[in-house]
Amino acid sequence: MTKPNGSINRSPFGKTPEGEPVEVYTLRNRRGMEVCILTYGGIVTSLKTPDKNGRLDDIVLGHDNLDGYIKSSPYFGALIGRYCNRIARGKFSLDGNLCTLATNNGSNHLHGGARGFDKVAWTAEKAEVGEHGPKLELGYLSQDGEEGYPGNLSVKAAYALTGDNTLQVEFKATTDKKTPCNLTHHSYFNLAGGGDVLGHIVRINADKFTPVDSGLIPTGELRPVAGTPFDFLKPTAIGARINATDDDEIKLAGGYDDNWVLNKKTGGELSLAAQVSEPASGRAMEIWTTAPGLQFYTGNFLNGSITGKGGRVYQFRSGFCMEPQGFPDSPNHPDFPSTELKPGETYKHTIIYKFSTR
């Protein structure tokens, strides 16, 4: 359907190993910006934005076909849940009861487990072009006991592309038993459209971060960024301090893979988390979120073993992630902002990516 405020189209994109049909929805706004989204994993397969000369390039990593996402994808572009990031040893206590989750990251639980929300078929519940542009609403029911989590969790995830080149992701969820809930979006960005990301300029609105142990699990400390390679309060190139050999945090992750404690006036406030720009293309991106934390990851585990779209080989640090979230391992840290969702409550999380050129 084509309207003055944009268009939305759908087409088949293969079938899952279980035989479930997968579709791709293509959203375009009135300026020509385009995002393609799968019903499998809610995956953003392509995001085309203009550079300073008006040229559109795809600025996210991914695959040309469904098989790639199923067999060799490190969460490219996906919706992540029931709990994004890590939970230590896949265990936590809830009202005195021990809950045991799937462990898929060494001895830890990562991004929802062996079959998280990135690996399931979602239902396209609504696709329409509204006053502000095209919007796609996806739904998924995570059943009681899935990957070890308690409660039936009903999840809605809406992607909206507005006329001012903004992509908004809005989550809502309800449950019939108390459960942790921590949802995010996991695109790997490269604003240059290729090459490594070390020249990208980053600013993160956070005075502190959560340092980790050897398993990349938070220690519980909220450490000031001042005087460390994690200080992005002033715009700094990703590559400026990413190889700081005297910093244990950098050495543990092989680069940046930590959670920043965002500066907020109130909990749940929609606020600016980070800004990223790429000098050669002129592209710039702002990340806004209602979440208290932001995981900044610099593609440290990309090693050339994945061939993606157009035959492109994804090398070390060829993409970065900005994942707004509740803090990692919060169920095991009572002092962290709570990620518990109770019956009768509604989990809400808004992420906004604002694109522009300089």
Residue 146 DSSP symbol = G
According to the model, what pLDDT value does residue 245 have? 81
pLDDT in tens, 86-96: 999 999 999 99
How many whole angstroms separate alpha carbon 139 and alpha carbon 121?
9
pLDDT in tens, 216-245: 999 999 999 999 999 999 999 999 999 988
Residue (of 308, 8, 243) closest to 137 by Cα position: 8
Using a cut of 0.75, tell me whether the model's pTM lies above it: yes
Mean pLDDT, the chain, whole residue set: 96
Residues annotated as part of the active site? 186, 323
pLDDT category of residue 282 using cuts at 50, 70 and 90: very high
pLDDT in tens, 303-353: 999 999 999 999 999 999 999 999 999 999 999 999 999 999 999 999 999
Q: Is the pLDDT of residue 267 over 90?
A: no
Which one has a higher pLDDT value, 266 or 199?
Answer: 199
Q: By the 8 A CB rule, do 275 and 285 touch?
A: yes
According to the model, what pLDDT value does residue 3 have? 61
pLDDT in tens, 35-75: 999 999 999 999 999 999 999 999 999 999 999 999 989 99
Q: Is the pLDDT of residue 2 over 70?
A: no
Per-residue pLDDT, averaged over 242-254, amounts to: 91
Label each residue of 60-110 as H, E or C: ECCCCCHHHHHHCCCCCCEEECCECCEEHHHEEEECCEEEECCCCECCEEE
pLDDT in tens, 162-179: 999 999 999 999 999 999
Q: By the 8 A CB rule, do 157 and 42 touch?
A: yes
According to the model, what pLDDT value does residue 1 have? 45
